Structure 1
Amino acid sequence: MLHKVLRTIRENAMFNEGDKVIVAVSGGPDSICLLRVLYELKDKLKIELAVAHLNHNIRGKAADEDAEYVRQFCLNLKIDFFIKKVDVNGLSREKGISSEMAGREARYKFFNDLKQQINADKIAIAHNANDQAETVLMRIMRGTGIEGLVGIRPVRDNIYVRPLIKVKRDDIEDYCRKNELNPRIDKTNLENIYRRNKIRLELIPYIKENFNSDIIMTLNRLSDTLKIDYEYMESISLEKYKLYCKEKQKKVTISKEAFLEHEAIVTRIIRKALSYITGSTYNFEKKHILDIIKAQKGKTGTFVSLPQNIEVCNNYGDLSIYNNTCKTKKDILEYELDYHKINVVGKNKIIFRIIENNQMMNFHENKFTRYFSYDDIKGKVTLRYRKNGDRFNPIGINGTKKLKDIFIDMKIERDLRDKIPLICFDNEIAWIVGHKMSNKFTIKENTRQILEIKYEGEEV
C-alpha cells in the first residue's frame, strides 16, 4: 500500500517539501486509510498534516460518533483536528439542489476556508480507483466527451490531491483490517437510493460477474489512456485560443478564422471562451456548442441566447460571446452637462471650452475631441445612450438615418451599441462619441464661436 501510494504521489508531483496538507477525513475506510498512509509517509515526503472533518447533521448520533472517532484517531497520531457542523438538508432546501450536491458544496467550502485559516498548501481527498470507475460509468451513461471520461484527476488546481486514486477499495479495506484501524461504516453507502450507490452495489458487481472481473482497473486504464489524448488536444486548442480569441471584460471575440479549424479544436475554443466568461462550462451542453457554431455560419446579426445569461452574436463572421448581465442598462440614463465645469459621469469626464473662430485649432487632435458650431446650439446639453427610434444626421448625408443602421454600417458589435455615449443638443444627437458628428452642428464660414468637447474615460 505504501509503495503504491508513494508512486502515485511522485508520478503526479502531488507534494513539495514543507507542504502543509489538510486531509479530508469522514471516518470511513477510504479516508482513514488515506490519513494513516500519509502519516506513515510524512517524514519521507517532508510534509505536515492536519485533519478536516465535516458533520453533515444528517445521521444524528451516528454522525456525532464518526466525529468523535476521527478526533480520537488524530489525538493518537498527534495531528491537528478541525471540525465543522453544517445542516446539509437545510442547505439543500435553501439552494434547491440535491443533498449530495449541497454536501459537496459544504465540504469544499469548509476545506478551502480552513486552507486559508491555517495557511495550508494542499487538500488531500480519499478518492480511489473504484470511485474513478464509478465516475467514468456515470459519465458514459450521460453521454460525456473525452474530458468527462478522463474522470477524477489525481491533482486539480495544484491544490486538491488524491493519493489513493490507483488503489482499489478491496485493498483499502484489507489495509484497514490488517492495521486494526476499525473505520466507521456509513450505512447510507449500502443503500441503493443514489445513482452512484446503484452503480457501486448493482451495476459493477453485475459487470464483474458477467463480462469483466477486472472492470474497475479496466475503466481506470481507459481514463489514463484518454487523459493523454485529452491533454494533447487541450495544448493545441489553447494555442489556437490565444491566436484567434480576444478577451475583454468578461467578453470573448472569436475570429472567423478559428472556424476553419477542425471541429474538435473549434468546440474546445468555444468551451474555453465560455469558461473565461462564467468560470466553468457547467450547464453548457453539446447542443449549445453546436448552436454557437451554427450562429457563426449565419449572417451578420445572428443571435443566440444560452444558459447563465450568455449571449452570442455574429459580427461579420466574428463571434462575440458575453454575459448580458454585465451590460449596463444605459438607455434609461441621461445626464445634463454644464459648460462651465468638468463634468464627471461614472469613470468619464466631459470637458467644454468655448473659443472664437479666429483661434488656431487642431481639428484632427483625436477622435475623442470634437468641435461644434456654438452658434447653432440651443437648449440643454446632455449625455445619454441610445434609445429605440433614435435617428441621426451624419456628415455627408442629407436627412437623418436610424442610429441602429448607422451602427450596423460602422460594424459596431451588437453588445457594444448600448455602451457608446451620445452627446445631445436640445435632445438632438450631435456626436456619437468616438465616431461620427451631426451635419447640423458643423462649423461654417460664418460661425462666430466654437464649442470644443473633450471626452476622457472608457473607450468603447
Structure 2
Amino acid sequence: MVKKVKDFIIENNLLNKGDRVLVGLSGGPDSVCLLHILYNLKNDLEIELGAAHINHMLRGNEAIEDEEYSKRLCESLNIEFFSTRINIHKISKEKGISEEMAGREERYSFFEKIKEQEGYNKIAIAHNLNDHAETVILNLMRGSGMEGLCGIRVKREGGIIRPILCLSRDEIEEYCRINDLNPRIDKTNLENIYGRNKIRHDILPYMKKNFNDDIIETINRMSKLIQIDNDYLNKEVEWYYSKYCEKRPDNLIILKDAFSLDLALLTRLIRKSLFNFSEKYNNIEMKHIYEVIELSKNTTNKRIYLPNNIICENVYGDIYLKDKIKVLSKENNKEENEVIINKIDLENNTIEYNGYLIEFKIINNLKNNIEFSNNVLIKYFDYDNIKEELKIRQRRNGDKMIPLGMKNSKKLKDIFINLKIPSEERKEVPIVVFDDEIAWIVGYRVSESFKVTNKTSRILKITFRRKEKSNA
C-alpha cells in the first residue's frame, strides 16, 4: 500500500522535493494511516512532516483520549505536533450552521493558521475512496450538478492534497492492523445520525449487495470522466470571467452581457464569481445560481441574499456582489457628514471632506482671460450670487436642483437614475450647496442658478482632489 500511495502521489504531482507537509490528524484510521505512510515515504520523497489535531469538544473524555493518542503517535515518530480545543457545538449555534459544517470550517482554519505560522506549504487530508463515493452520492441527492458529481478533488488551491484518495476504507483498516497502529474509533461514525453515515452504512452496502459489488470503484471511474469534462468547461469560463466580471475592493460586478452566455457557461461563471468574492464554495447550490440569473431579469436595485454573507443586487442590469455585513452596517449608519463655511472665509481656503481635499479660490473676471478646466472635479461659480454660506454634505430625500441649461428644477434622485449611479454610491457623492440651493453634484452636474456669465465680476473656483492614502 505504501508503493500504491507513492505512485499515486507521483502520478498526480502532489509532492515535491523539500515540501513541508502538515497532516490533519484526528487519531482515526484514515489520518493515522496517512501519517504513517507519509512517514515511511519521507526519505524517498525528501519531505518534512508535521501534524495538526483539533479537539472538537463534542465527545467528552473520548475526544481528550483522541488528542492524547495523536500526540503520543507523533512523539513516537518524532513528528512535530500541534493541537487546539474548539467548542464546535457553541460555534454551530452562533453561526446557525450544522456541527459538521462548523467543524469543517474550524479544522481548515486551524490547518491554514499552523501552515502560515510554521512555514508548511502543503496540507495533507486523509480522504479515501469510500469518502469520495459517499460525497458523490450525497451531492447527487442535493442536486448539485456536474461540479458535485466530480466528488473530492485530489488537490485544490491552498496546497491542500489528498494522498490516500487511492485507498479504500478496507485497505486503510488492513494497513493499520498490519502495522499495529491501533487508531481511535469515533463511535458517532457508526451511528446513522448524519446524512453521510446513512450513505455509508445503508445506501452503499445496499448498492454493493444488489447492483454492483465494485460500486466504490465504479463511482470513482465515473467521477473521473465527469472531472475531465468539467475541467474543460471551467477553463473556458476563465476567458469569459476576464471579459464579463470586474473585481473591486468592495464588490464584484457581473456585467449584464454575461447573461446572454450559454447556460452551461453562465452557471459556472456565476459560481466562479461567488467564490472569488467570498472565497468560499460551501453552501452555494444550483438554486442560488438560478436565483442570480432570475435577478438579472428584474428591475434595478432589487436584491437577494445568498449564503456566505453575499448580497446580490441588480444595478441597471449588471449584478453587484456585495458583503452583507458591510452593506447593512453602512445602511444603518445614519450619521450625516456636513461642512459649513461662511462666504467671507472662502478666499484661498482648503478643507477636508470624506477623503477629499477641497480648495476654494476667488478670481476676478477679467473678460476671457480665464482658462476654464474640463476636469469634472473643478467647477466655477458666480461668487456674488452666494449670500451667506457654502455647505458640503450628502444628498437628502427630496433634494432638487436646476441643472445647467434647464429652467425647471429636477429631483436629485431622478438625476442619479438617469446617470445610472448605483444606489449605494449616491450617498458618497458630495453635494455643494450655496445658502439653501444645490449648486453642484460633484463630478456630475452644476446648477443653472450659479453659472458664470458675462456679467459675473467675481468667480469662485472649487477644486476637489482625492487624498492620497497613507502607506503607514
**Structure 2-normalised TM-score?**
0.90
1:350 is matched with which residue?
Answer: 358
2:303 is matched with which residue?
Answer: 304
1:373 aligns with 2:376: no
Q: Check the 8 A contact 1:334/1:382 in 2, yes or no.
A: no
Correspondence 1:103-182 to 2 at 5 A: 103-182=103-182
1:419 alignment partner, SS class: coil
1:431 is matched with which residue?
Answer: 440
Deviates more, 1:159-168 or 1:377-386: 377-386
2:71 is matched with which residue?
Answer: 71
Tell me which amino acid in the other structure corresponds to 1:344: E
Q: Check the 8 A contact 2:240/2:269 in 1, yes or no.
A: yes
Query: Alpha carbons of 1:410 and 1:124: their partners in 2 closer, same or farther (altered >3 Å)?
Result: same
Q: Check the 8 A contact 1:250/1:277 in 2, yes or no.
A: no
Q: Check the 8 A contact 2:19/2:121 in 1, yes or no.
A: yes
Question: How far apart in 1 are the matches of 2:151 and 2:69?
Answer: 31
- Deviation string 1:157-186 (CA, Å, 9 cap, x unpaired) is 142111011210011111112222222222
2:220 is matched with which residue?
Answer: 220
1:196 aligns with 2:196: yes
Q: Check the 8 A contact 1:21/1:47 in 2, yes or no.
A: yes
1:417 is matched with which residue?
Answer: 426
- Deviation string 1:193-224 (CA, Å, 9 cap, x unpaired) is 12111111111111111111111111112221
> Following TM superposition, by how much is the alpha carbon of 1:124 offset from its aligned partner in structure 2, in angstroms?
0.9
Q: Check the 8 A contact 2:292/2:312 in 1, yes or no.
A: no
1:248 is matched with which residue?
Answer: 248
Deviates more, 1:369-378 or 1:418-427: 418-427
2:23 is matched with which residue?
Answer: 23
- Deviation string 1:431-454 (CA, Å, 9 cap, x unpaired) is 111111100000122211110000
Question: How far apart in 1 are the matches of 2:467 and 2:312?
Answer: 23
Q: Check the 8 A contact 2:339/2:353 in 1, yes or no.
A: no
Question: How far apart in 1 are the matches of 2:73 and 2:435?
Answer: 78
Q: Check the 8 A contact 1:207/1:215 in 2, yes or no.
A: yes
1:107 alignment partner, SS class: helix
Q: Check the 8 A contact 1:372/1:451 in 2, yes or no.
A: yes
Question: How far apart in 2 are the matches of 1:169 and 1:281?
Answer: 27
1:449 is matched with which residue?
Answer: 458
Give me the CA root mean square deviation: 2.3
2:339 is matched with which residue?
Answer: 336
Q: Check the 8 A contact 1:331/1:386 in 2, yes or no.
A: no
Query: Alpha carbons of 1:322 and 1:73: their partners in 2 closer, same or farther (altered >3 Å)?
Result: closer
2:104 alignment partner, SS class: helix
Question: How far apart in 2 are the matches of 1:48 and 1:370?
Answer: 65
1:342 alignment partner, SS class: strand
Query: Alpha carbons of 1:414 and 1:284: their partners in 2 closer, same or farther (altered >3 Å)?
Result: farther
Question: How far apart in 2 are the matches of 1:320 and 1:104?
Answer: 29
1:397 is matched with which residue?
Answer: 406
2:392 is matched with which residue?
Answer: 383
Tell me which amino acid in the other structure corresponds to 2:362: I
Q: Check the 8 A contact 1:331/1:385 in 2, yes or no.
A: no
Query: Alpha carbons of 1:95 and 1:413: their partners in 2 closer, same or farther (altered >3 Å)?
Result: closer
Question: How far apart in 1 are the matches of 2:69 and 2:284?
Answer: 42
Tell me which amino acid in the other structure corresponds to 1:140: L
Instruction: Identify unmatched segments of 5+ residues in structure 2.
Output: none
> Following TM superposition, by how much is the alpha carbon of 1:408 offset from its aligned partner in structure 2, in angstroms?
2.4
> Following TM superposition, by how much is the alpha carbon of 1:66 offset from its aligned partner in structure 2, in angstroms?
2.4
**Structure 1-normalised TM-score?**
0.92
Deviates more, 1:301-310 or 1:384-393: 301-310
Query: Alpha carbons of 1:130 and 1:244: their partners in 2 closer, same or farther (altered >3 Å)?
Result: same
Q: Check the 8 A contact 1:9/1:163 in 2, yes or no.
A: yes
1:399 alignment partner, SS class: coil
Q: Check the 8 A contact 2:143/2:286 in 1, yes or no.
A: no
Question: How far apart in 2 are the matches of 1:252 and 1:94?
Answer: 28
Query: Alpha carbons of 1:144 and 1:78: their partners in 2 closer, same or farther (altered >3 Å)?
Result: same
> Following TM superposition, by how much is the alpha carbon of 1:357 offset from its aligned partner in structure 2, in angstroms?
0.9
Tell me which amino acid in the other structure corresponds to 1:192: N
Instruction: Give the total of aligned pairs.
Output: 457
Deviates more, 1:261-270 or 1:168-177: 261-270
Query: Alpha carbons of 1:115 and 1:454: their partners in 2 closer, same or farther (altered >3 Å)?
Result: same
2:280 is matched with which residue?
Answer: 280
Deviates more, 1:151-160 or 1:231-240: 151-160
Query: Alpha carbons of 1:246 and 1:449: their partners in 2 closer, same or farther (altered >3 Å)?
Result: same
Correspondence 1:48-87 to 2 at 5 A: 48-87=48-87
1:362 aligns with 2:365: no
Question: How far apart in 1 are the matches of 2:134 and 2:434?
Answer: 68
Query: Alpha carbons of 1:251 and 1:210: their partners in 2 closer, same or farther (altered >3 Å)?
Result: same
Q: Check the 8 A contact 1:372/1:443 in 2, yes or no.
A: yes
2:446 alignment partner, SS class: coil
